[in-house]
Structure 1
C-alpha cells in the first residue's frame, strides 16, 4: 500500500493536535507537522486552504480535513481504506480539547 502524503496543521501542545498526532503514530503514517503557532505563514496557509481558522487541519493526498479530532481522523482514514482498523492503543487522548493557555489566549479585563 502506498503511503499517503500527509500535512498536518497543528499547535505544539493542544489536546486536539496531540490526538491527531497520536492517530498518525498509531498507524505509523509519516506526515509533515506544520506548527501554526510558531510559524505564522503555516497558520495563514491553513486558513487559506480550509477557509476557516480552527485547527487541527489535516491534508491527505490533497484532501483537506478541517477542524478535525484524532478520532474523526481515524474514522476517515479507515473509511477511505488508507488504514485498516486497529485496536492498538494510542498514546494520547484522541478527542480532548485544549485549555485557554494552549491557544495562546490572553485574558480580557473589563472595567465598568
Structure 2
C-alpha cells in the first residue's frame, strides 16, 4: 500500500462519523480529523470542497467522498486498492444516522377541549 493522505470532516458525536472513524481505525489508516461542529471554518471548508453541506465527507488523496457512511468508505477503499478487504467486525455500526436523525417514536397527542 502506498502512502495515502486522508482528511475526514466529521461530527464529534454522530453514527455516520463513528462508522467512518471505525473503518479508518480498522485498516490502521492515518488521517487528519476536522471537527465540523466545534470549528465552523472546517464545515465551510468541507462545503467548498464537496459542494454540499452533509457529513461525513472524506478526502482521500485529493478525491472528495461526500456524505459517505463507513460502509461506503470501506467499499471505496477496497475498490480503489487502498486496502484489502478485511471481514473483521468493528464495534460500532458503519451505517447509522446521528441519534437526533432517528425517526421519532410514534406519539399520540390528545387534545382536550
For Structure 1 versus Structure 2, the TM-score category normalised by the shorter chain is 0.7 to 0.9
Question: Does the Cα contact within 8 Å between 1:5 and 1:31 map onto a contact in 2?
Answer: yes
How far has the Cα of 1:100 moved from its partner?
A: 1.9
Q: Give the Cα–Cα distance (whole angstroms) in 2 for the partners of residues 67 and 51 of structure 1.
A: 11
Q: Which residue of 1 aligns with 2:73?
A: 73
Gaps of 5+ in 1: 102-112
How far has the Cα of 1:87 moved from its partner?
A: 1.1
Q: Give the Cα–Cα distance (whole angstroms) in 1 for the partners of residues 16 and 83 of structure 2.
A: 20
Q: Give the Cα–Cα distance (whole angstroms) in 2 for the partners of residues 94 and 10 of structure 1.
A: 14
Q: TM-score, normalised by structure 1?
A: 0.87
Matched, 1:60 2:67: no
Q: TM-score, normalised by structure 2?
A: 0.87
CA root-mean-square deviation: 1.0
Question: Number of aligned pairs?
Answer: 101
C-alpha deviations, 1:45-102, integer Å up to 9, x for none? 000001100000000000000000000000000000000000112121100111228x
How far has the Cα of 1:11 moved from its partner?
A: 0.1
Q: Give the Cα–Cα distance (whole angstroms) in 1 for the partners of residues 2 and 32 of structure 2.
A: 16
